[in-house]
Amino acid sequence: MALYFITDTPDKLLTDYKKAIDDGKVDTWSYDKDGDFTHTPTQWKNLAWLRPKIEAGKLAVFILKPQDKKISAEVYAVYHGRFIESMVRHCDKLFSRGIATSMPEGSDQVG
Map out the domains of the chain with their CATH numbers: 3-100 (3.30.310)
Q: Does pTM surpass 0.85?
A: yes
In sequence order, what are the beta bridge partners of 30?
A: 38
Nearest to 100 by CA among 64, 63, 57: 63
52/41 Cα distance (integer angstroms): 20
Q: Report pLDDT digits (tens) over 25-52.
A: 999 999 999 999 999 999 999 999 999 9
pLDDT grade, residue 102 (50/70/90)?
confident
